[in-house]
Structure formats: C-alpha cells, structure tokens
Structure 1
Amino acid sequence: MLSLPSSLAIVGIVPGLILIIFLGVFATYTSYLLVQFKLRHPEVHNMGDAGLILFGAFGRELLAFGTIVFAVFATGGQLLAGQIALGALSENKLCLMLYTGIFAVPTLLCSLPRTLDRLSWLSVPSVASILVAGVVGMVGAGVHPTPRRELSAAKSSSFYVAFVSITNPVFAYAGHFMFFILVSEMKRPQDAMKAAYTLQGFATTFYAVFAVVVYVYVGDSVASPAFSSLETKWMKAAYGIAIPNFLIAGSLYAHTASKLMFVRFFRNSRHLHDHTVVGWSVWFLLIFLMNGAAFILAVGVPIFNYLIGIAASLFASWYTYGIAGAFWLHDSYHDGDGIRTWRRKWFQTLLAMATFAAGAFICVAGTYVTIKGIVDAYKSGTVGSPFSC
C-alpha cells in the first residue's frame, strides 16, 4: 500500500488507478480459481501439493521451494519496514541494523503459534492498525500538502521505468501463496470465497483511495514508503500506528514457510496434531531458522530490496496470477471430456490461458527490470556494504 502513490507519480493518476483496480479484480478471479482447486483437491495443503498434482514430483519441489523463498524474503521485507518505522520514530538515533534486530525479536515471537486460529487473533489489530495508519497518512497529507506540487493525469515513459512502477500494484496482491494453507485450517473451507471477496474488495478499495489521496496532496515527489513524505509529526504518527501490521505480516510469512515444512515432515505422524516434544522442538527450530534467515538477508545483503523483487517476479507472479489458470485447465480437462470440455467452455478456457500467459509475462518482465535495477545501482555506486548502519 505504501508504495502505490509512487507508482501513480511515475505513470500518472489515471493509468495507475486503472491498474490498481484491474489487478484487484484479476486477483479476485484467481482467488476463485485457487479456492475451487482446493475444494476439488482437499488433500492440497500448500503450493507444493498443488505442484505435485499439476507437474509431478518436480512441480512439488519447485513450488514448495518458491513458497519458502518468497515467504522468507517477504518476512525480511517486513523487518525492513519495521526498521524504517522505528528509525522514523526515533529520528534514526541508532544503527539501522539494530532497529532491524529489535523488530525481529517480536516478529519471531508472534510467529510461534502452531495454528492459524491463534495467529488470527493477532491479525485483528494488524488490520486495524494499517487501516487507521492509512487514514492518518491521508489526513496528514491533506493538512500539510506539498507546496507547488506537480500532478500528472498520465505520463509516457520507457518500458523499464513504467514496469518498475507496475510491479508495486502487481505485488500488492501477492498473498495468494498462503491461500491453500489458510483454507486448510478453516472450520468451513466452503466459506473461503467469502473471506477472499472481503479481502480483495477491502484491499482494492483502500489501495485505490490511499494512492489517489496521498498522490494528489504530495504530488510527483511522493516517496516510497509514502509515509516518509508526510510532515514529521504525521509521519511519526502513521508509522507508529502501522507497526503492528508490519509485525504481524512478517510473523504470518515466517509462519507460512515453517508450516509448509512442518506438514511435509509430519504429514502422516502424530507429531502434526499432538503436543509432542519432537513436534514442538522441530516447530521452534523451523520458526527460528525462517526468521533468522530473513534477518540475515535483510541486514547482510545490500541489494536485498532488489532480491525481494526477483523473488516476487519468479514466484508471486505465478502464485497470484499465472498458475491459477493452470488449475482450471487441469481440473476441467480431467473432470470433463478433456479437450472437448475446453472447446465447450471456450471463454473460460481462453481466460485461463490468458491468466497463465499474464503470469509468464509478469515473471519475465519483472525479473528483467529488477536485474537491470541491480546493474544500474552498482554502476551508480548506490549499493551499500553488508551489515552496515
């Protein structure tokens, strides 16, 4: 959400707003395809299990690996968000790496519950915090607008510049990689689409309103994250209120990576459901490893922000968009008359194929622009050193 106003500053308010809404609707459609696939295959617990059905053993390992990698990188991204928030609140009086370490401790503790019903209670204040923080940010931008700001209805730019801005709204809807795990722990998986409609409807609306309001009052100079463009008091207020969201989001990502491996280890064992010493020991170890890896990457890799972009391009592009089309094509083929079903349901078939193609395009283009960004950063000398303040 905090990166979306800067996307409008690059492509203009009209194409940016259209893109945010279109991708929200698109993500709702792919949510539907994922949920239908899950209900058709209740044994699917995560993307790795789905990969086994689609592509065999190789698909299982590839999609499981991608889930873990993206979840760890996403956890690291939330640690950096926490670092920025704590730095803003204290006016950067401490080493930034220390802020990351301070934020990593509660993130680890909050990811310890083994079931999502426990973690879901923490998600309630998480959602409330980002909602209130967003409202505070919009009010702060309105109370202290940027003088002589420049606004653009639409802008022309190179493919590289434009797609860099497009990746922000694309990956704002990148939570689909957790959907199978979330639905697997619902009391009534049949109600999953109610949750998905609520999620996508709320997120798309709030993303659009926040991006437009902040951009209109700050202009083309808006920073990413957007709160950093606010007047100091409002910036501190917004970051302070948003901290629970950064914290719980990081915990949920680390929990997801750990849960995939935990279920993989103990799927046919009593350690999965019972309170055994072995089960809890392995769970603690996995949580520690996932959070530890996220922390090391966040503070030890100078180009970590770019690596998040690469991980999102390689995996989230498929989990959120592309692979949903493959789910529909697989089930309609095997549950029906094969290609005859595809021909009979030609519109859905074309839509599923287009979804798959969209995922491939986002994957390739996103990876390209991110790698080019890394090359340009090294050429310009803006890349720092590992474990620096």
Structure 2
Amino acid sequence: MASQSNGTNGQLYADENASITAEKQKSGVSKDVFVEDEAHQIQYKTLSWQFVSLLMIAEIVSNGMLSLPSALAVVGIVPAVILIVFLGIFGLYTAKLLVDFKLNHPSVHTMGDAGYIMFGPVARELLAFGTVAFAVFGSGSELLSSQQALSTLSNQGMCSMYLVIISGAICFLISLPRTLDRLAWMGLLSAAVITLAGFIAMIGAGDNPVPERSLTVTASSNFYDAFLAVTNPVRTFFSLRLITDRFFMLISEMRRPQDAMKAAWCLQGFATAFYAAFSIVVYVYIGNTVQSPALFSLPPAWSKATFGIALANFLFSSGLYTHTAAKLVFVRIFRHSEHIYSHTLLGWTVWIMLCFAGTSIAVILAIAVPIFSYLIGIAASLFAAWYTYGLAGFFWLHDVYHLKGGTDGIKRRPIGATLAVLTILAGAFICAAGTYVSIKLIVEAYKTGAVGRPFFC
C-alpha cells in the first residue's frame, strides 16, 4: 500500500507497513493510537467535535474565571481585557499548529509522544511527567474550589480537610469511565452550570454594587506586580491550552479528527468572550476591592447561590483532570494491547488503581502541602508555558522541515517561521518569568506567616 502525502494540512500517514521515512523509524509507529475495529469491546473514537468543545469548556471555564476580576484592579480594565483577547487569539493560532501536528502524526496521544517524535526519548519522559503532574495539580486545585464551595454553603460547618476528602471521593467516581464519550453528557451539564454560575455572579454584582467604589482603567506598575496580576489570566489560558495536551487526547477519541479545529474555534470564542464579559461586569460593580475568587466579594446569599451552582463543575473538572493523568499512563502501559480494547481483569484493575492513585495524590497535595497553591503556579510556569506556546512553534518547524523540503521549506515561509520562533520565545519568557514570580510569592508567604499547617482545618 502506498503511503499518502503527509503535508502540514493534516493528511494522515497510511500505516506502519508503508514506505518508512526516517522520522517514522524514530517514532516507532505511525498508525493511530486507537485502532477502529467493530470487534473491540471498548470503542474510543466516538466523540463529535461538539462534545469535544463541551468537555473543554467544562474543564477550562471553571475556577479560572473567578480570579480574573482581581487582575483588572492591578493592571486596569483596558490592559487586562486586551491581554485576555490577545491570548485567546494566540491560543487559537497555537491550536491550529497542534491540530496539524496531530493529523500528520496519528500515533501522538500526548505531549510526551510529540516530544519523542521531535526530540527523542528524554523529551518524551519529561513532557509525559509534566502532563501527569499538571493534571494531578489541576485536580487538586479543583478540589480546593470544591472545598471552598462546600465551606461557603455550610457556613464553615465542617472541617475543610474532610470536605476535600469527600470531594475527592466523588471525583474518583467521575474519573472511572474508560472512554471520554461516557463523560460527554456530564460535560454538557458541567459547561451549562459554570456558565449559569457566571451569569448569576454578574447579576449578584450588579444588584449589589459597592458604594463609592474605585476603578482603574489603566495603571502603571513594576514588572513583579504586573506579571503577578496577569498570572491569573495567563494561568487560565494555560488551562485552556492544556488543550495542548488534553486536545491531543480528545482528538484521538474523535470520530472525525479533521473537525478538531471546529471545537477549538467554539472553545476559544466562547471562553474569550465569557472571560472578558465576566471580569469586566464583576469588576465594574465591585471595584478595586474585588477578591480572588471573585465570588467572595458577593453578598452571602449570592455567593452561596453561585458556589452551589458551580460546585458540579468543580467536581467534574477534578475528575476529568484525574482521567487525563490515568489515561496517559494506561495507554503508555497497554498501547495496542487487548487490555486497551477489552474488558480484561488486568486492564480494569490497573485503570481503577491509576484513577485512585491520581485522586489520592491530588487530595494529599490539597490538604497536606501548605504551599500547594503556589506550587500550581510553578507547575504552570515550568510545563504549561511550553504546552501553551513554545512547543507549538516547534511543531510547525518540525513538520515543515521534515515534510516540506527541509531548511529551504522553512525559508520559503518567512511569516510562518517568524510566528513559530516568536511562539517559542513567548513560551520561554512566560516559563522564566512565571517561575520567578511563583518562587518569590512562596518566599514572601513564609516571611509574612501566610503559610498554613498541613492536615489543618
């Protein structure tokens, strides 16, 4: 069978028995990570692009938006909104690079697989570890949001440590389905409730404006304070672009991977517009005293209503993050084996153990590590900066070099090459600056005594 053309427009490789290029020899396999066969008991390629967009919205438009209004108080409305819109557009561009790379390399299931194709086995292990670590950290972050919601609803009537454990048990059950289509309808509900929660919060802020509030349209600030402020929207778009790694997994389970950009357009358009609207409305009515999360700035009744609605999204997002970490390890262990496609005892035992381990680690981090929230910032800076931006530039350079004529192919595309290099530099800058700010925050927290104790209510 003759190999198909493998251009950057996303045409698929034919199969691993076709004419083998040097790159295929390096990557080991070229066939799709999930093979379609009606005889398989477990079918993976079942998602439509609509449900992919809902799953991403459910995971991304979550507690991230709640910290955005506070950024406006530091850098001002205009710079913050420009940043949100810019990152949304930039995220759409990098999503296109990711989709093209995935379609050119069907064997890619995670960022680790992509790293192996581009840089070799060391990159595979490093990027795979980063994906698992960030997914577990993301799960723990959502557990803390669930704990805040439950504490607010119960008027702090139960030890927060126990609330995290209860939330973890629910998230463990959510993570258990082996295929993402089993979570799709829950994703629809989750996307709906977080959207509704955002509108309720905006209504609550508008109905209870802060008297004599002060607003900042633009503000001058030093690098540390400014970058600290924009860290919130940047982290939000980091989560959005865990789409980079989450998106690889989601595309792998799509019926038509060619429709992946439709999901990206839907997500980026909705998230960018919703982030901007939510942050502006809440900030305009509350002003510079707005807290993070913003729901704590609402009157108690409105805060409880919003947290109560958003709780389902926090729990689902935590379970989805755990599912991501477990799926990466599971596929790495059993790729193309019967345990992937059949209901075997070993397969289900390992899967349940991985989900339990991911949830347990997230729970322990949330209740036993006083600086956990700061560690999330470090993880975002070290890994998500590259998943979000830097590696997307390498995707373009790699495929143009290998599939479009080597160095001459890159020279014939000066605009694309420039954008790719700028994308890589953006990832490097955010990685370095974000790590610096996060470490400085930890040092200051210890100096001021803001760090709590482990296993403390």
The yes-or-no answer on 1:350 pairing with 2:414 is no
Q: Which residue of 2 is the match for residue 324 of structure 1?
A: 392
Given the alignment, which residue of 157, 170, 191 partners 1:93?
157
1:63 aligns with 2:127: yes
Mapped to 2, the partners of 1:237 and 1:14 lie a distance apart of: 30
What is the correspondence of 1:14-33 to structure 2 with a 5 Å cutoff? 14-33=78-97
Residue 268 of structure 1, CA deviation: 2.8
For 1:319, give the aligned amino acid: Y
1:248 to 316, 320, 328: 316
> Rg: which structure is higher?
2
Query: 1:265 aligns to what?
Result: 333
SS in 2 for 1:82: helix
**Shift, 1:209, TM fit:** 0.2
Aligned with residue 177 of structure 2, among 113, 116, 128: 113
Name the residue aligned to 2:246.
178
* Residue type at the aligned position of 1:251: G
Q: What is residue 428 of structure 2 aligned with on the other side?
A: 360
Counterpart CA distance in 2 for 1:165 and 1:179 is 27
Deviation per CA, 1:247-271: give whole Å up to 9, x if none: 1111111000000000000003100
Aligned to 1:124: 188
Take 1:188 and 1:336, find their aligned partners in 2: how far apart are those partners?
A: 25
Letter in 2 for 1:73: F
TM-score for the superposition, normalised by structure 1: 0.99
Q: In structure 2, what is the equivalent of residue 239 of structure 1?
A: 307
Q: Which amino acid aligns with 2:160?
A: L
* Structure 1: tracts of 5 or more residues without a match: none
Which residues of 2 match residues 305-324 of structure 1 at below 5 A? 305-324=373-392
Residue 120 of structure 2 aligns to a residue whose secondary structure is helix
Aligned residue for 2:9?
A: none
The CA distance in 2 between the partners of 1:335 and 1:258, in whole Å, is 33
Q: Deviations over 1:325-379 (max 9, x none)?
A: 0000000011112111111100010000100100010101000000000000000
1:226 has 2:290 as partner: no
Q: How does 1:35-50 map to 2 (within 5 A)?
A: 35-50=99-114
SS at match of 2:453: coil
The structural deviation recorded for 1:158 is: 1.5
What's the CA shift for 1:134?
0.1
Structure-2 separation of matches of 1:268 and 1:248: 29
Aligned residue pair count: 389
Structure 1 residue 48 displacement after superposition = 0.7
User: How high is the sequence identity, in percent, across the aligned residues?
Assistant: 58
- Residue 198 (structure 1) aligned to one of 263, 266, 270: 266
Query: How far apart are the structure 2 equivalents of 1:344 and 1:192?
Result: 27
Which digits, 9 at most, give the CA deviation of each residue in 1:286-323, with x for residues without a partner? Answer: 00000000000000000000000000111111111111
- Work out the CA distance in 2 between the residues paired with 1:164 and 1:42: 38
Amino acid aligned to 1:83: Q
Asked whether 1:34 is paired with 2:117, we answer no
RMSD: 0.7
Of 165, 176, 197, the residue aligned with 1:133 is 197
The residue type equivalent to 1:103 in the other structure is S
Deviation (angstroms), 1:156: 1.2
- Of 95-104 and 45-54, more deviation after overlay is shown by 95-104
Question: Once the 2 structures are TM-superposed, how far is the Cα of residue 170 of structure 1 from its aligned partner?
Answer: 1.2
Matches within 5 A, 1:144-159: 144-159=208-223
Determine if the alignment matches structure 1 residue 385 to structure 2 residue 385.
Answer: no
Residue 26 of structure 1 deviates from its aligned partner by 0.6
Matched, 1:74 2:138: yes
Counterpart pick for 1:279 among 347, 353, 362: 347
Q: Name the aligned partner's letter for residue 215 of structure 2.
A: L
- Structure 1 segments of 4 or more deviating over 6 A? none
Report how far residue 103 of structure 1 moved. 1.1
Matched, 1:340 2:408: yes
Offset of 1:104 from its aligned partner? 1.0
Cα distance in structure 1, aligned partners of 2:214 and 2:355: 46
Flag structure 2 segments of 5+ consecutive residues without an equivalent.
1-64
Per-residue displacement from partner, 1:117-141 (whole Å, max 9, x unpaired)? Answer: 0011110110000000000000000
One-letter identity of the residue aligned with 1:334: H
Distance 1:242 1:368 in 2: 32
* Partner SS state of residue 5, structure 1: helix
Cα distance in 2, alignment partners of residues 87 and 322 from structure 1: 39
Q: 1:241, 1:19 → 2: CA distance?
A: 28
Q: Distance in 2 between matches of 1:321 and 1:170?
A: 11
Which residue number corresponds to residue 104 of structure 1?
Answer: 168
Cα distance in 2, alignment partners of residues 182 and 280 from structure 1: 21
More helix by share: 1
Q: CA deviation at 1:57?
A: 0.3
* Cα distance, 1:81 vs structure 2: 0.4
Aligned partners of 1:145 and 1:111: how far apart in 2?
Answer: 40
Q: Look up the equivalent residue of 2:313 and give its one-letter code.
A: N
Distance 2:419 2:303 in 1: 43
**Following superposition of structure 1 onto structure 2, how do residues 208-227 of structure 1 map, counting pairs within 5 Å?**
208-227=276-295
Tell me, yes or no, if structure 1 residue 292 matches structure 2 residue 364: no
CA apart distance, 1:39: 0.3
For residues 277 and 192 of structure 1, the distance between their equivalents in structure 2, rounded to whole angstroms, comes to: 33
